[in-house]
A and B are shown apart, each in its own frame.
Chain A
Amino acid sequence: MRRFLTASVVLCLALTGCSAGSLGSSEDDGDGVTLTFLVDNSDTNRKLGEGLATAFTAANPGITVKVEIRPQGTEGDNLIKTRLATGDMTDVFQYNSGSLMQALAPAKNLVAVGDQPWAAQLDQNFTTSVTADGKVYAAPFGNYNAGAILYNRAVYARLGLTVPVTWAEFEANNAALKSAGIAPVVQSYGETWTSQLFILGDFHNVSAADPRFAEKYTANQVKYASTPAAVAGFQHLQRVHDAGWTNEDFASAKLDDAIALLAEGKGAHYPILSGIISQLAGTFPDKVDDIGLFAVPGADAAKNGLTVWAPAGVYLPASTTDAKREAALKFLAFVASPAGCDAQTAAAAPQGPFALTGCTLPDSVPQAVKDMQTYLSTPGRSSLALEFLSPVKGPALEQICVEVGSGIRDAKSGAELYDEDVKKQAQQLGLTGW
């Protein structure tokens, strides 16, 4: 018994000793503060996180930023929510903007940063994506991304094809590619998230047909299944499978396999997020300029345009207080400054424009990024993806897409199932009208 008591006293002392020590260092008025910074474990984001941390620490000798890594996808979402709910979040963290941020209950868990001087420099689209109840919550991390079709320009040149702007032209190109023995559309359902781009990347075409779609969708006034322009995405996915245009190993292929098919010209089109271009550049440096980008083709050539993903954000959780909060605000100000953009450009090749006025891209960006900028600089040729305009996004879309894209389920029933899936999310968020 006595030994047990002694042991527990020693343990208590050790614990209090530790926390007193770290408290002491954080009260040093900015000097010797260590900030922890949680980023996801994707290759690019880890590099960006470490690049920002190193550059910031170099410019602010009193503050050290330590990068921590978390898993991506739904597992990461869960981890973020759990850590926020238990008050155990790192001092600053990187996370998606848009509907995923809305699910974090920002008013309760995050510190609004709209009053900071740099907030005025943010790009309007990004501001929209990180605003909840009229308050801005993040500094931009990374670049704009496009949900589009990456295509092999060398293959296009060899077969004399031109970039399609309507689905009919896209089908004609696919037929020509297939008869030339090239897989027209690369799909990689071994990694299920990659299956969604024909639907998510088609949103510009949906909102071109109905500019108020996002708003009505949030209010439960329109459905995917009953809106012809919206259900078209599911039909395209089904069409690609039914026509036999996919690569043979579409069901088991992973992102890496798909990138290889595209880079080597064995596959011609890959509907995907443009951000993967940096992964392609890492594996096939000499093929990067063969790869171009075009928007997902729709029904109307005149209205065709690019669907754009806003950058992720760096957030300040409510659990970061006092000296740490001051230091964290300095870090956010650095992230949202031209120096922060430069640090990111140095860490990983930019995949698209920055969300900050005063930040420019180097001239040496890959061809796909140049193609993306052409869309962005033409008014009316680009829109934010639905998940940045509406908090409503169903968690099962990727599985539904795999089913539609593998011929297990038809387009109509896939769209109906997604409408059901979305309902749960809307109810969970407590939106009116659901």
Chain B
Amino acid sequence: MVRRSVYPYWFLLPAAVVYGVLFLAPTFASFWFSLTRWTLFESHFVGLDNFVTFFREPALVKGFVNTLIYGVVTSGAKVVLGLLLAVVLTSRIVARGYLRSVVFFPVLVSTIGVGLTFTVLMNPERGLINQVLGAAGVDGPGWLTDPSWALLSVAAVDVWKGVGLATLIYIAGIVSIPQEYFEAARVDGAGAWANFRHLILPLARPATVTVIILSLIGGLRSFDLIWAMTRGGPGFTSDVIASVIYKQYQAGFYGLSTAGNVVLFVVVTAIVLPLSRFLNRKEVEA
């Protein structure tokens, strides 16, 4: 027997139209335009040329490596710091509610605003950070102008800005662990470290999975903060895939940048889908 839906089909129509016009059509259009040389004024079919050009782009290799570094570094740091902060903020400390909101505040601030502020703070000669370091007798590096520091400096700001969300997820995960476990552990004579190692860490696993997936996706497609702080510079040294694509778009290579977006879509899917499967399977087995 076919189960009839509770709603008549025309109920679906508005949503279907919105979905079709705003999501399906552009997606298929973008697959088409990625195969053309497109000036916005006219397009002509060039087959897979755009993908060939895109993969030959010297900035792309750098951008690819940088994207991975950026994604892994920010996601890793958010997991570690987020968990530690969550443990602190779920323990009995003074002004707990206030401290929780303080950690979360940077998440709410505009990314571009954060980027511009830190660009000023990180100025090698006139920035507050190096002035403070200088007063302490340390000769600070050119945070955003030294090629070996630029990407990591931006990643650090990203972590500062995003760790609040990770903390929030961890707090929810830790709070949902039944109190009985902690009581039983206390009866068994477990100390703080044993609590953390054998209770919080394994039982907060769903939170860890969420934080890793969210921050890795965020890190892989991150763009706004990098653009606000370095524009991929100095030179191409802090370019990520998204900024390479954006620069091609700015230069008017619309077909090429669309091809880049298709590649980015495939890459993010290829990394996140198996990772999510893997992490979730482990959870079921555990």
Contacts and interface: CB of A to CB of B under 8 A. Distances in A.
Contacts of A406: 145, 147, 234-235
Interface residues of B, number: 31
A45 B237 CA distance: 33
Given A251-B145, A395-B247, A408-B235, A427 B37 contact: yes
Interface string A387-422: 000000001100110110010110000000100100
B34 to A, nearest CB: 14
B251 A395 contact: yes
A77 B254 CA distance: 13
A82 B142 CA distance: 37
SS of B interface (majority): loop
A248 B145 CA distance: 12
Interface string A245-259: 000110110000000
Interface residues on A, range: 20 to 34
A403 B236 contact: yes
Contacts of A395: 247, 250-252
Contacts of A84: 40-41
A81 interface: yes
Contact of B142 (A252, A420, A430): A252
B144 A252 contact: yes
Contact of B235 (A77, A82, A409): A409
Given A75-B250, A417-B58, A420-B58, A248 B234 contact: no
A157 to B, nearest CB: 29
B165 interface: no
A357 B115 CA distance: 49
Interface string A178-206: 00000000000100100000000000000
B164 interface: no
A105 B37 CA distance: 14
Contacts of B142: 251-252
Contacts of B42: 105, 108
A126 B59 CA distance: 35
Contact of B125 (A248, A402, A430): A248
B256 A78 contact: no
Interface string A15-55: 00000000000000000000000000000000000000000
Given A81-B252, A403-B236, A428-B39, A252 B125 contact: yes
Contacts of B125: 248-249, 252
Given A395-B247, A403-B236, A428-B256, 15 more contacts: A77-B252, A78-B252, A85-B40, A103-B252, A105-B39, A105-B41, A252-B123, A252-B142, A395-B250, A395-B251, A399-B232, A406-B235, A417-B58, A428-B37, A428-B252
29 contacts: A74-B247, A74-B250, A74-B251, A82-B40, A84-B41, A85-B41, A189-B145, A189-B234, A192-B231, A251-B234, A395-B250, A395-B252, A396-B59, A396-B247, A396-B251, A399-B233, A399-B236, A402-B233, A402-B235, A403-B235, A403-B236, A406-B145, A408-B235, A408-B237, A425-B251, A427-B37, A428-B252, A428-B253, A428-B256
Interface of B: 37, 39-42, 53, 56, 58-59, 123-125, 142, 144-147, 231-237, 247, 249-253, 256
Interface of A: 74-75, 77-78, 81-82, 84-85, 103, 105, 108-109, 189, 192, 248-249, 251-252, 395-396, 399-400, 402-403, 406, 408-409, 417, 420, 424-425, 427-428, 430
